[in-house]
Amino acid sequence: MSDKCRIAVLGGGSFGTALANIVADNGHNACLWLRNASDADEINQRHVNARYLPDYPLNPALKATTDLGEATANADVVFMSVPSKSCRDVAIELKKVINSSALLISTTKGIEPTQFKLMSEVLAEELSGMRLGVMSGPNLAKEIAARQLTATVIASRDDELNKKVQDLLRCGYFRVYASRDAYGVELGGALKNVYAIMAGMANALGIGQNTISMLLTRALAEMGRFAVSRGADPMTFLGLAGVGDLIVTCMSPLSRNYQVGFALGKGKKLDQIVAELGQVAEGVNTLRLVKQEADQRNVRMPLVNGLYDILYNEKTIKDVVGSLMWAEQSRDVEFVI
C-alpha cells in the first residue's frame, strides 16, 4: 500500500460509498461528499449508508460531509462519482475549491447531450489543466460492499496517475488494471447500459440462452464499431471495461437498466417504469444519444435501432426481432485493428 493519502469521493450513492469505504479500509484519510445532511450524519454516527447500502457496515474512519470545500481540502486524489446529469454543475463548484495538484478520477458512466460529451470531457472543460483519469468496469456496488472479488480499470495516458490509483484501491477483494485508452474505457461504461435494457427485456420474455449469447456478442460487435468511429481502440472492448462490464450489467437484476428492460418485457410503458424507479436509468438517455450519433456517422447498430423503435416508435418486440433476424447476414468478427 502507498503512503497515507487524503482522498475525496464526490457522490454518496452506492458506488461512491463503496469506493470510499475501500479507501478507508486501506488506511487512507477518506471523506465522502454528499448533498443530504441526514445521510451524512448517519454515515458519521452509525457507519452505514441506509439509503443506498443499508446492509453493509462502513469503516468507522470514513467521514462524510455536505461541504464540498471540506471534502476536498488538501485532497491528493478526488473521485467524481456523481450522476451524469449533475457532473457539470458539481465540476463548476469543484473548480472553486479543489487543490490544483490533485488527481481527478471520473467514475461516472454516462453521456452529456451537448455534442455527445463523456464525463471526462465535461471535467476537462470545467477543470482544465487537472491530471485526469477514468475508472470503469464490472463493478456492482453491492457486491463490492460485500467484499466479493471484483476488478476494474483505471485509464489515462498519465502512467503515474494509473499507478497511484492502483496502489490506493488494491486490496484482497478489489483489483485495478491499467489502460491508456481512457476514451474507450469510458465509452464502454456508457454504451453497455443500452444493451442491459435489451437483456432485461429478453429475460422477461423467457428467451433462451442461445439468444442471450447472440445478444451479448452482437452487442459487443456494435460497441466495437461505434468505438472505432469515435477514435477509441476496439481491443479495449475485449477487456473488463468492455465485455466484462457488458456481461455483468446484462446478467444482473441489480442493474437499473436491466430492471427497465425487464419491466418493458412484462408489458409496462416507459413512463410508468421511470415513475416506479424514481429516476431514469442511464441507458434510456444514452440510447437516444447513441442512435443520433450512429446515424450521423453512418455506423451500423441494428440492436440500438431496434430498441429505439420499441421505446419511441411504438413497434412491437415481435416485429423488431423479426426484422433483426431477416436482415442481411454479415461477418461475425469485424474489429478493425
Exposure string over 25-56, b if 16+ CB within 10 A, otherwise e: bbebbbbbbbeeeebbebbeeebbbebbbeeb
Phi, psi for 114 (deg, rounded to 5): -65, 110
Determine the Cα–Cα distance for residues 160 and 163; give it in Å rounded to an integer: 5
Query: Domain boundary residue among 161, 180, 199?
Result: 180
Q: Do 221 and 231 meet the contact criterion of CB atoms below 8 Å apart?
A: no
Both 231 and 159 in a single domain? no
Q: Is residue 18 in a domain? A: yes
Both 150 and 266 in a single domain? no
Q: Is residue 335 in a domain? A: no
CB atoms closer than 10 angstroms to residue 150: 21
Both 151 and 244 in a single domain? no
Both 137 and 270 in a single domain? no
Both 66 and 30 in a single domain? yes
Q: Is residue 105 in a domain? A: yes
Both 321 and 255 in a single domain? yes
Query: Domain boundary residue among 180, 213, 228?
Result: 180
Both 41 and 152 in a single domain? yes
Mean pLDDT of the chain: 91
> What is the reported pTM?
0.90
Both 18 and 152 in a single domain? yes
Task: Summarize pLDDT for 321-337 with one digit per residue, the tens.
Answer: 767 665 555 666 665 54
280 has a pLDDT exceeding 70:
no
Phi, psi for 172 (deg, rounded to 5): -65, -15
Counted domains in the chain = 2
CATH, residue 42: 3.40.50.720
Q: Can you give the residue range of the structural domain that contains 89?
A: 6-180
Strands 150-155 and 131-136: antiparallel
CATH, residue 188: 1.10.1040.10
Both 207 and 320 in a single domain? yes
Task: Summarize pLDDT for 37-77 with one digit per residue, the tens.
Answer: 999 999 999 999 999 999 999 999 999 999 999 999 999 99
Q: Which entry of 192, 266, 269, 318 is annotated as an active-site residue?
A: 192
Q: Is residue 1 in a domain? A: no
Both 158 and 198 in a single domain? no
Strands 103-106 and 117-118: unpaired
84-88, 221-225, 232-236, 325-329: which range is least confident on average? 325-329
Q: What is the pLDDT of residue 281?
A: 74
Both 34 and 77 in a single domain? yes
Both 22 and 171 in a single domain? yes
Query: How much of the chain exceeds pLDDT 90, in percent?
Result: 72
Active-site residue flag, 95: no
Q: Is residue 336 in a domain? A: no
Confidence of residue 279 (pLDDT cuts 50, 70, 90): low
